[in-house]
Amino acid sequence: MNAHEPSTEGHETLPVRAESREVLPADPVYDAELVEEPHYYSPRLGWFASWWMRSPRVPVWLKSRRQAVQVGKDLLVSALRAPDRFLGAVVRGLVVAARWWRRWVTVREYREAAESSEKLADKFVEIRALTLFRWKVTGAVAVVTLLGGAVVDLVYGRRGLWLLIGIVAVALAVLGRRRDGSPGRKAVLAGPRTLMWTMDPQVLVDAFRDAKLIGKDETLRLVERATRVGDGWAVVVDLPATRKAADVIKNREALASALAVDEVQLIVERVRGNGGHAGRVSMWVADSDPYASPPLRTPLLAAQRWDAWRPVPFGRDARDRRIDLPLVWTSLLVGAIPRQGKTFAARLAAAGLVLDPHTRLYVADFKAGKDWDAAGQVAHRFMSGDESAHVVELVGWLVELVAEVQGRYRRMRELDDVMCPESKVTPEMSRDRALGMPITAVFVDEVQVPLEDRTPVDVEGKRLAAGEYVGELLTWLAKKGPAAGIVLVLATQRPDSKTIPSGLRAVLGSRFALRVMDWRDSNIVLGEQMNTRGYDSSRLLASHKGVGILRPDGDTQAGADVLALTVRTYYMPNEDWQVICQRGRALREAEGTLTGHAAGDASMSALDHSAAVRAIGTGTCRPSRSDDVPEPLARILDHLDELGDVPEFVSTAELAEALEFDPAWLGRRLAELGCQSTRERVTSESGKVRQIRGYLTADLFAAAEDSGSSDGEL
């Protein structure tokens, strides 16, 4: 474990000052991790203990102390509620008995049968006689009961009478007990349903049914009973066979409604791995809005130094689990509408790297504010501004980085297998100054500014818009850079498909989406179809600043297999950020790793554009089509780009649905643009072959090219 790991227990809430702002000399970093010791059983008991823990026949509450305590609590609550429930059951039993008696005494079945066969008049005398007879039986039974009671009272006294009443009450309670699905007996829920399900699993089953997650005749199996975890209740259930946990995650909102809680209070996760399966769901329901409490300050403030190879403390999820974000060997895209906490989130990622003196930082702040200023004292390259000159400067940095990455790959090939087992930078290599391969992180805030810039730049005799060149260079770096120790962190206010090229998005490993305008923007940050899998950041509340959906590339504390999770980032205002940057500078001064801008040296080596163009491929610098190509072609091409593998044929219905166009209008408009639809035989998933109307993608591309060039000629 890192010698300086900050304590995250007992976190203080803001406003809290750092204990000391002084920069202390750094101690060595020990590179190791905390491992959980396996339990060692005595040899005699070993097999038994191992069997006990593994056997599915031993109930979970006999294996876990937490579950056993919960069973005890549940029993106590049941005992306290027993008199109330017993009385309720007796009253219900009385009502049931009375109803039954009325049907019997009025010969209801016979009467109804006669009525339905229109023979009531014929049978009337018979029915009347039977009714009279049953009334007599009732009177006789009543007299016998009264006499019996009097006899018991006489022979055994009051105790006997009470015993008799007790037996009758138990019989009525059994008759009136709540049975699953018994009509007319379901009590209307009063009060918060959240608490009801913790005591009565039937309420949970009903909620799943109401949310249409299980059928009317299906039920849930409680794997772990409801226990108190943090400020909420956790429960693990098994869905009926063939029902999928992924569907519960997808329809979390319906379930939240059925449980009468806000969806931010409900966390649903699949239980994976050995202890789980595709139908096992772990739920956690918070007592109240988990993000209403004051935000927490970053634990990095208490760390004297950090190791870039360790995931950086990023935030907390609703269950208050600490979520760390791995940065090395991956890259991060942060997207949101303004003022939701993008810059704060990107700075958190930067803070961990600032505190590692062996890390080299490139910081380009196109927001041109004060937010990143403090990074100037540690960054190898730093700029703040949104003019074309800044974009051109960024182009220079990226070309320099492309050359750097190529140089690193070349040098890695020459290293021996012990030092460099794969073509990947290792922790030792990144800290070896002689090798010159430090972890190099590139932060670009408001990345849409350089990507949209139209300033012409001369590249190998070709005139290109700076924005396109930046897009191509960033895409190459995001693809090739991570293994060579380059970390890209891009933040954008405009996560739309035109601004961030789909090719670039596809290679950014981790995504963090704070609140955006609609599900399309959310999908652009988090990835295709993420809204249909239950992750849509447009549903986050505006008041929840710093809360977003994280789709990590690698393990998080919530588990390696969690697709995405809602996280509230730590709060790191400017003053804390400045403290961290000062500390980072002192660490670099002590290690002698202060370079570039921070060391007062802004000079750049001669840029080799030709090498960069060769690396990214000449074909990749294609003309920007979204600007020239008319709608709906431009959006169709973007959609095809997003699909990754471009199909040969795409159906009109699919296009209309994906892009929300009216199919008839789409057909007319594409015909006007010179693109005629055709019919193709398509095999569906079930193996059926159908004729479908649609377009050959080659025709769509050709139409786009024609319309682009004819527009250009005008």
Q: Per CB under 6 A, which region of 53-61, 139-147, 209-217, 334-342 contacts ligand ATP?
A: 334-342
- Token code pair at residue 142: 């009543």
Minimum separation from the CB atom of position 495 to ligand ATP (A): 11
* Cβ closest to ligand ATP, residue 144 vs residue 541: 541
> Helix 633-642 to helix 697-713 angle, to the nearest 10 degrees?
130
Figure out which of the listed residues 367, 380, 408, 585 binds ligand ATP, where binding follows CB under 6 A.
367
Q: Does 342 bind ligand ATP (CB under 6 A)?
A: yes
Q: Is 342 annotated as a binding residue?
A: yes
Give CA separation, 177 vs 185, 301, 431, 435, 595, in Å.
9, 59, 71, 77, 78
Q: Is 377 annotated as a binding residue?
A: no
3-state secondary structure of 569: strand
Query: What per-residue string of b and e applies to 576-607 under the rule 16 or more CB within 10 Å gives b?
Result: bbebbbbbbbbbbeeeebbbbbbeeeeeeeeb
Q: Phi, psi (5° rounding) for residue 141? A: -65, -40
Figure out which of the listed residues 295, 495, 548, 596 binds ligand ATP, where binding follows CB under 6 A.
295
Q: Does 694 bind ligand ATP (CB under 6 A)?
A: no
Q: Is 663 annotated as a binding residue?
A: no
Q: Is 340 annotated as a binding residue?
A: yes
* Cβ closest to ligand ATP, residue 448 vs residue 502: 448
Which residues, 6+ apart, have CB-to-CB distance to 53 below 8 Å?
A: 63
Give CA separation, 172 vs 86, 137, 169, 623, in Å.
10, 21, 5, 83
The binding track of 458-497 with respect to ligand ATP, each residue x by CB under 6 A or -, is -----------------------------------x----
Q: Does 584 bind ligand ATP (CB under 6 A)?
A: no
Q: Does 339 bind ligand ATP (CB under 6 A)?
A: yes
Considering only residues 397 to 416 of the shown chain, the ones binding ligand ATP according to CB under 6 A are none
Q: Does 344 bind ligand ATP (CB under 6 A)?
A: yes
Q: Per CB under 6 A, which region of 505-513, 526-534, 564-572, 598-606 contacts ligand ATP?
A: 564-572
* Cβ closest to ligand ATP, residue 15 vs residue 461: 15
* Cβ closest to ligand ATP, residue 293 vs residue 676: 293
Q: Phi, psi (5° rounding) for residue 630? A: -75, 160
Position of tokens 């109240």? 288
Question: Any idea what the Cα angle at residue 700 is, between residues 698 and 702, rounded to 5°?
Answer: 70
Minimum separation from the CB atom of position 544 to ligand ATP (A): 8
- Token code pair at residue 29: 């970093």
Figure out which of the listed residues 38, 184, 338, 461 binds ligand ATP, where binding follows CB under 6 A.
338
* Cβ closest to ligand ATP, residue 15 vs residue 338: 338
Q: Is 338 annotated as a binding residue?
A: yes
Figure out which of the listed residues 352, 467, 546, 584 binds ligand ATP, where binding follows CB under 6 A.
546
Beta bridge partners, 334, equal 491, 512
Q: Does 499 bind ligand ATP (CB under 6 A)?
A: no
# residues contacting ligand ATP (CB under 6 A): 16
Considering only residues 140 to 199 of the shown chain, the ones binding ligand ATP according to CB under 6 A are none
Q: What whole-number distance in Å separates Cα of residue 212 and Cα of residue 216? A: 9
* Cβ closest to ligand ATP, residue 440 vs residue 448: 448
* Cβ closest to ligand ATP, residue 311 vs residue 495: 495
Q: Which residue is nearest to ligand ATP (CB)?
A: 546
Name the amino acid, one letter, at 49.
A
Q: Answer yes or no: are the C-beta atoms of 439 and 430 closer than 8 Å.
A: yes
Q: Does 336 bind ligand ATP (CB under 6 A)?
A: yes
Query: What does the DSSP assignment read for 32-59?
Result: ----PPPP---HHHHHHHHHHHH-TTS-
Minimum separation from the CB atom of position 526 to ligand ATP (A): 16
Q: Does 291 bind ligand ATP (CB under 6 A)?
A: no
Figure out which of the listed residues 343, 522, 556, 626 binds ligand ATP, where binding follows CB under 6 A.
343
Which residues, 6+ apart, have CB-to-CB distance to 153 below 8 Å?
A: 160, 161
Figure out which of the listed residues 280, 319, 545, 585 binds ligand ATP, where binding follows CB under 6 A.
545
Q: What whole-number distance in Å separates Cα of residue 342 and Cα of residue 446? A: 9
3-state secondary structure of 190: coil
Q: Is 219 annotated as a binding residue?
A: no
Q: Is 336 annotated as a binding residue?
A: yes
Q: Does 569 bind ligand ATP (CB under 6 A)?
A: yes
Name the amino acid, one letter, at 297.
R
* Cβ closest to ligand ATP, residue 537 vs residue 593: 537
Q: Answer yes or no: are the C-beta atoms of 711 and 637 closer than 8 Å.
A: no
Q: What whole-number distance in Å separates Cα of residue 711 and Cα of residue 714? A: 5
Q: Does 501 bind ligand ATP (CB under 6 A)?
A: no
**Helix, strand, coil tally for the chain in percent (to 5):** 45, 15, 40
Q: Does 515 bind ligand ATP (CB under 6 A)?
A: no
Residues tagged in the binding site annotation for ATP? 336-343
Give the interface with ligand ATP as residue ranges (CB under 6 A): 295, 336, 338-344, 367, 493, 545-546, 568-569, 571
Residues tagged in the binding site annotation? 336-343
